[in-house]
Structure 1
Amino acid sequence: MATTEFVAPRSGRIDPKYNRSKDKGGNFEMAAWLFMRLSGLVLVVLIFAHLFVNLLVDEGVHGIDFGFVAGKWANPVWQFWDLAMLWLAMLHGTNGVRTIINDYADKDGTRFWLKTVLYFCTVAIIVLGTLVIFTFDPCIPGSTLEMCP
């Protein structure tokens, strides 16, 4: 009968084909793990408060229109609130997809290009979303003040 050697979990012995890190230093993955937990908690608070204010207060979902958003974004608190949701949600999601890419993309080149596209899209959405939040003008150019919400 042949004997098979079983390696105890977390014994530190990793098959070389699964060890992608070239250096043994740095705490980036630990910081990314911690960021996922903390940003997830903050996002739960931000999103549920956002849903409560938008869907349950006053007229509820029937009151959401262009004027509602214009009135909300006239207040810097709501601008910051929505900005925090945008940034945290995008960075949280990007970190999650980065982890999936690292887990499932076998080739270094594939992993590089997938993460390059991911980071480019993340930066583009964060920049565009931030611009929308801070440059939003409820008055259509050329309209009179009476037509502004």
Structure 2
Amino acid sequence: MTTIDAPRSGSGRPRRGINWEKYGWIYMRASGVVLLVLIFGHLFVNLVAGEGVKAIDFAFVAGKLADPFWIIWDTLLLWLALIHGANGMRTIVNDYANNPTVRRVLLGAIFASTAVLLLLGTLVIYTFDPCPANATADLLPSFCPVP
């Protein structure tokens, strides 16, 4: 009879410290449920309510980002989705990258790209101004007051 050892069973000693895998697993389940609500709410407002997809233009986005409710909604959607995806990629790398150096490089790339995208996305959401000051009138959307 052949016995197969448990994969990556370690030394048999209990590990000390924070169990990041457990908290990553819990995060994936909790964020998945919240993301379902956020995504379907986003799709309903953008595609079903009002005039549907033909109404989505610069003015529609500007109107949504003028409302604090939608700013918070979009920020939650951005952060939860990016971290959820990055955590999923981290799990895949941990499962399939056997070389420790390759694993470190891949995890570093995932972390760096997630941090950059979170920073840039949050900056866009909170600094979006459809009617910037000192802009020429021909570059402004039609709903902006002419300076």
TM-score between the two structures when normalised by the length of structure 1: 0.84
Give the length in aligned residue pairs: 139
Please state if 1:131 is matched with 2:103.
Answer: no
User: Equivalent residue for 1:142?
Assistant: 135
Q: Distance in 2 between matches of 1:142 and 1:100?
A: 47
Contact 2:130 2:141 (8 Å CA) reproduced: no
The residue aligned with 2:96 is 104
Query: In structure 1, what residue type is equivalent to 2:67?
Result: N
Give the whole-Å Cα distance in 1 for the aligned partners of 2:97 and 2:14.
20
Task: Confirm or deny that 1:50 pairs with 2:53.
Answer: no
1:41 aligns with 2:22: no
Unpaired segments of 5 or more residues in structure 1? 8-12
Q: Secondary structure in 2 aligned to 1:138?
A: coil
- Which of 77, 84, 88 does residue 76 from structure 2 map onto? 84
1:14 is displaced (CA, Å) by 3.2
Distance 2:114 2:136 in 1: 35
Maintained 8 Å contact 1:86/1:126 = yes
- Determine what percentage of the aligned residue pairs are the same residue: 47
| Residue ranges of structure 2 left out of the alignment (5+ in a row) | none
TM-score under structure 2 normalisation? 0.86
Contact 2:71 2:126 in 1 (8 A): yes
